[in-house]
Amino acid sequence: MPPLPSHDVESPIDRRLATKTRRSDETCVALPAPIDVMGLPIRPLWTDELVELLIARAKDGVRTRAAYANAHTVNLAWNDPAFFKTLQDMDVLYADGMSVLLAGKLIGRELPERMTAADYSDWFASRCADEGVSLYLLGGEPGVAAKAAQELCETFDTLKLVGAHHGFFTDDESKAVVAAINQSGAQVLLVGMSSPRQEAWVAKHGSDINVPVIWCVGALFDYYAGGEPRGPDWLCRNGGEWLYRLGADPANKWRRYLIGNPLFAMRAIGWAWKHRHDDDAPREDQQGGGKWQH
């Protein structure tokens, strides 16, 4: 598998674009079998595989719904059976946080790496520009998606960005939003809202959206628009970005991290203890933590 990105290049954009191994010639649209982590079907993908797989599926018109799993979304799912089912039904669910990787390790189920959209979004945009894959941005406060779209187009001048719309609309307005997305002819729809709203919206309206790849990306647009700062690279690489985000916005983040992270840890340990012998059981007897079918 490809090595982890180098961090010797000064420009973050140049570093991501220069050090990733492009594997479009090797990539097919088939998905790897999921690994059960806390009942959720996490796809064991490396970053380059995720990017190239989604681009290949967009080009081939393979309908795909993608989302991430981290401590926050897993906690939400364990509290909300409907959201749990929504995550289970995603075509591609990948590990966004180190917490999910560590939960898998507790029971000997290894995932390749943590993948956060803000870490490789420049590379994804560059590959979309190279392959002529068109994007539509949906989410954020009014003006945020448009500003993110402008930043992307200025950085990647051949990128086909066919539309942008904020995420502050009512469900009654969803029909008009879906119509605008369909009229754009986009091949990838990036949905940047908070969880669980973004995933629930995709689950409810995804069948009406004529876009092959629909990808939930959280606060990605806020990063591009300058509304959500990121921590230093060394901290992000070592799973400590949550500390930076907590320090930057303690009033809004303390509950998620100071309560949510210990809660996730307790749940992960309990799940691992309960299912510690699953991998030793006959395959037909294994249920892990979930009953999803993919």
Contact yes or no for 111/95 (Cβ under 8 A): yes
Residues of the chain with pLDDT under 50: 1-26, 283-294
Can you count the helices (H) and strands (E) in the chain? 14, 8
Supply the pLDDT for residue 227.
57
Nearest to 66 by CA among 34, 99, 89, 33: 89
SS3 at position 40: strand
- Per the prediction, the chain carries an average pLDDT of 83
For 202-241, write each residue's pLDDT tens digit.
999 999 999 999 999 999 999 898 756 655 565 555 555 6
DSSP string of 73-123, one letter each residue: HHHHHHH-HHHHHHHHT-SEEEE-SHHHHHHHHTTT---S----HHHHHHH
Q: How many CB atoms lie within 10 A of CB 200?
A: 16
pTM: 0.82
Question: Amino acid identity of 126?
Answer: S
pLDDT attached to residue 237: 59
Q: What's residue 243's pLDDT?
A: 52
Contacts of 131 (CB under 8 A, 6+ apart): 24, 55, 59
Alpha carbons 138 and 211: distance in angstroms, whole number: 13
pLDDT of residue 126: 96
Phi-psi region of 39 (alpha: psi -120 to 50; beta: other; left: phi over 0): left
